[in-house]
Structure 1
Amino acid sequence: MEKQWLKWAKELQAISQAGIEYSKDKYDIERFQQIRDLSVEIISEYTEMEHHKVKDLFANESGYQTPKVDVRGAIFKGEEILLVKEKLDNKWSMPGGWADVGLSIKENVVKEAMEEAGAEINPRRIIAILDRQKHIKDDFPYSIYKVFVECDYIKGSHIGNIETSEARFFRTDNLPELSIGRNTKKQIDLCFKSRAKDVFETLFD
């Protein structure tokens, strides 16, 4: 279950963000900003993240707050899946990241595969749309929908970039240490399960 302090901080952030966007009275806007600052203080205090970093990541948007979208490509060649090694933690994940505005899910996964793995791919179908907090138990402040897309590998080779240090194919029984915040073993197993079936019903929370 999500920690109560984190739940409260996220609710305060959502309320304050909407209030700042839609309030007309300058004094109300000021009060909502104070509530937003308080939500940042709570996150910073309990996670030991620097205040400015929490503010940049957690309270940097305007308008009505909605979940972020993280798109992951389950890229297969034969019976192996393509993973990339993240420079941030030296652990492995399926290529992917935040969905860019102006790009579709398909366009996003194609872009991320090329940028992070140097891979040309053909997206086939959506495997699952999962609520991150229901599958990964940590103190992450965002609400995130994770979209897993099954893809065929066409060709490519890893290109040097700021996010990943290498790209390799792995069998399901020989996975490396995973970057759990990005994908779990259970989620990768789900992708292999999808790959083995001609017809697979999309899963969602």
Structure 2
Amino acid sequence: MSLKWLKWSQQLQAIAQIGLTYSQSPYDSERYQQIRQIAAEIMATYAHEAPTYVCDLFSKEEGYATPKVDVRGAVFHNNQILLVKEREDGCWTLPGGWVDVGESPSQAVVREVYEESGYHTQIVKLLAIYDRNHPRHQHPPIRHHVYKLFFQCQLIGGSPAESTETTEAAFFTAHDIPELSLTRVVPSQISRLFEHYRNPEWQADFD
């Protein structure tokens, strides 16, 4: 199924959000509100949601529209990678999540790994910056445009623990990866991270 509708609605929402941020004309503001409504109707139609629900979500976005930032920690140990099991869907993912305001990406990923797995880590290097919306990654569609930052992390302590978002934390080989939470990470990304681990001289991927 083509996801052009998602790209169109996100772009229209961004135009409307930026216009409403900077417009000083009430007439222009009214037009930008109309564009936001059209964007909400497009997304609601194909996502099978109520237009009022989507429009309410859009209206909470303020300022200049930019992609959100998601960080993920690739923690390798004995040729295995750390995954955590999500409470939300019962599937597995790399520990990580949104970067909070006021923290750097590296701080965010160290925090997320500890909160979701119980392990203490330190950053080794940036492995990849991926555009979640790019078709080659094959993530299920969401309303946000997201950049995903993958960091290699070194295990320095701690023990496996559950959290408010996760129920398990465990290490897996490249050939024993469990069912993944595809909204968060996809198999091709896990495979690529293992390749980076085996080739430490590689530079970071992008897009």
**Both proteins in one fold, TM over 0.5:** yes
How far 1:61 moved relative to its partner?
1.6
Q: Over aligned residues, Cα RMSD in angstroms?
A: 1.9
- In the alignment, structure 1 residue 172 sits paired with structure 2 residue 161: no
- The CA distance in 1 between the partners of 2:160 and 2:2, in whole Å, is 37
Deviation (angstroms), 1:81:
0.6
Tell me the number of residue pairs that the alignment of Structure 1 and Structure 2 aligns. Answer: 205
For structure 1, list consecutive stretches of 5 or more residues without a partner in the other structure.
none
Is 1:24 the counterpart of 2:24? The answer is yes
Asked if the contact 2:116/2:166 (under 8 Å) is kept, the reply is yes
Distance 1:133 1:160, change over 3 A: same
Tell me how far 1:166 sits from its aligned partner: 1.1
Instruction: Specify the code of the residue in structure 2 equivalent to 1:9.
Output: S
Counterpart residue identity of residue 75, structure 1: V
**Aligned letter for 1:201?**
Q
Matched, 1:139 2:154: no
Conserved 8 A contact 1:2-1:137: no
Contact 1:73/1:113, CA 8 A, preserved across alignment: yes
Is the alpha carbon distance of 1:48 and 1:73 closer, same or farther for their aligned partners in structure 2, counting shifts above 3 Å? Answer: same
Q: State the one-letter code of the partner of 1:163.
A: E
TM-score of the aligned structures, taking structure 2 as reference length: 0.91
3-state DSSP of counterpart to 1:75:
strand
Summarize deviations over 1:38-68 as a string: whole Å, max 9, x none. Answer: 2122211211135465346555321221111
TM-score (norm 1): 0.92
Q: 1:193 to 1:97 in 2, by over 3 A?
A: same
Confirm or deny that 1:40 pairs with 2:64: no
CA contact (8 A) 2:69 2:148 kept: yes
Distance in 1, Cα, partners of 2:14 & 2:30? 15
- CA shift for structure 1 position 109: 0.5
Unaligned runs of 5+ residues in structure 2 are: none
Describe the shift of the 1:131–1:60 C-alpha distance in structure 2 as closer, same or farther (beyond 3 A).
Answer: same
> Could you tell me whether the CA contact under 8 Å between 1:58 and 1:142 is conserved in 2?
no
